[in-house]
Amino acid sequence: MAEHPAYPVGLRLTGRRVVVLGGGQVAQRRLPALIAAGADILLVSPEATPSVEAMADAGEITWERRGYADGDLADAWYALIATSDPEANERASAEAERHRVWCVRSDDADRATAWTPATGHSEGVTVAVLTTDAKGRDPRHTAAIRDAVVEGLRDGTLVAPHHRTRTPGVALVGGGPGDPDLITVRGRRLLAEADVVIADRLGPRDLLAELPPHVEVIDAAKIPYGRFMAQEAINNALIEHAKQGKSVVRLKGGDPYVFGRGMEELQALTEAGVPCTVVPGISSSVSVPGAAGIPVTHRGVAHEFTVVSGHVAPDDERSLVDWPSLAKLTGTLVVLMGVDKIGRIAETLVANGKSPDTPVALIQEGTTAAQRRVDATLATVAETVVAQEVRPPAVIVIGEVVGVGLPAAR
Ligand SMILES: C[S@@+](CC[C@H](N)C(=O)[O-])C[C@H]1O[C@@H](n2cnc3c(N)ncnc32)[C@H](O)[C@@H]1O
């Protein structure tokens, strides 16, 4: 039997009886995929691990608390034999053969009539890896091949364009704070499939260098806007490229909806009839403090954090931020785009009741090789920013959480 390669097949088990003998670790590992396949699962075993028991409690499987008995496999389409009793395994295996039920054996792959491949999933496909014959069985190797393929598909290093389902349009992708490893798996895959990428200055610029030469990379800041506003010109560029039938990625820093004008772009695209998908990203407001060793909340210290734009000063009539109310909060304030106005912001917070000793940290170019952290207090931050030449992009954290990190992380 083992001289020929196994014949790979996908079993459609919805509503079909699958019998699992033995409720130990093997069953625990295999049951979730059988449940996901919609199988009607009968587990026969005197005992089960707590996880398997939980599946029975949740009604995902039927559990008969007893040992294997002849006849258990009569109605099965497929069986998994994994008891710790070799003699029961043998008898069950013989019954499976009699009833022509394909059967996996955890104790003897050579005698089994079916093997479980190492499987993984990526965006609508199942990757299943089998060794060619029983002698060459090396589960770690097949699992490693599976991991390499699935990871490659997920992170875009293995490019398999969707020829049937790929539709032209725009993906607004949150690229995370800058470290190329901090983009989402979906964002990276869409980037790998793009014909055109329109990128901001912030975000994972290193990823652009990895794109194949045919991909057109456009710097959003350099799109000429003439009689339009810069944002309108970007919207127009997205629409134009998508209407030429291209897959366009709008790569943005952090999350598209956190001070990222993502909704404006989505609205413009929708109005123009261009299909658009939005991929969330890791916002700098949380990840950049974290990269500098600052948790935005901490038990017993801060039960809230508020993210504010500091791009206009508190006394500017365009400001939508209620700074006097923010001064009364006890939690953490995270200020984005606030380097230029931090002096006025600190003054306003102190004038409205915040202690001048409140710790402040400024993290410039967080998560990149150039990351730096500068510490101050509300009283000293204006002069510190000048003296230390802190420049945008920086995230400013105001509050007691600034002091709770491990000294090594500061
Ligand atoms: C226009 S906002 C975009 C925010 C972005 N959508 C997000 O969710 O992170 C730009 C501001 O985000 C902050 N920022 C973004 N990336 C940063 C980084 N790597 N290091 C420090 N600040 C960053 C800075 O305050 C910068 O001025």
Q: Please write the tens of the pLDDT for every residue from 273-297.
A: 999 999 999 999 999 999 999 999 9
- pLDDT tens per residue, range 296-352: 999 999 999 999 999 999 999 999 999 999 999 999 999 999 999 999 999 999 999
Ligand 1: centre distance to CA 336 (Å): 6
Q: Determine the Cα angle at 390 with ends 180 and 387, to 5°.
A: 155
Average pLDDT over residues 217-237: 87
Q: Which helix (H) or strand (E) holds 247?
A: strand 247-252
Average pLDDT over residues 74-91: 96
All domains of the chain, ordered by start, with CATH? 17-155 (3.40.50.720), 175-279 (3.40.1010.10), 285-409 (3.30.950.10)
- The DSSP bridge partners found for residue 288 are none
Place of tokens 């598209």: 256
Size of the chain in residues: 410
Residue 167 has pLDDT above 70, yes or no: no
Ligand 1: centre distance to CA 247 (Å): 26
Average pLDDT over residues 388-404: 97
| pLDDT value of position 406 | 67
How many CB atoms lie under 10 A from the CB of residue 367?
22
Pairwise pLDDT comparison (374 vs 224), residue with the higher score = 374
Instruction: Enumerate residues lining ligand 1, CB below 6 A.
Output: 177-178, 202, 253-255, 258-260, 283-285, 288, 336-337, 363, 365-368, 392-395
- The DSSP bridge partners found for residue 218 are 198
Q: Please say whether the beta carbons of 251 and 197 come within 8 A.
A: yes
List the catalytic residues.
Answer: 200, 222
Cα distance between residue 379 and residue 374, in whole Å: 14
Ligand 1: centre distance to CA 334 (Å): 11
Average pLDDT over residues 88-108: 95
Q: Whose C-alpha lies nearest to ligand 1, atom 7? A: 254
Residue 1 has pLDDT above 50, yes or no: no
Ligand 1: centre distance to CA 255 (Å): 9
Q: Whose C-alpha lies nearest to ligand 1, atom 15? A: 284
How many CB atoms lie under 10 A from the CB of residue 141?
13
Q: Which of 183, 231, 336, 339 to mutate to test the pocket of ligand 1 (most atoms within 8 A of CB)?
A: 336
φ/ψ of 377, rounded to 5, equals: -125, 175
Average pLDDT, the chain: 92
Residue 409 has pLDDT above 60, yes or no: no
Q: Which helix (H) or strand (E) holds 291?
A: helix 284-291
The one-letter amino acid at 101? V
| pLDDT value of position 3 | 67
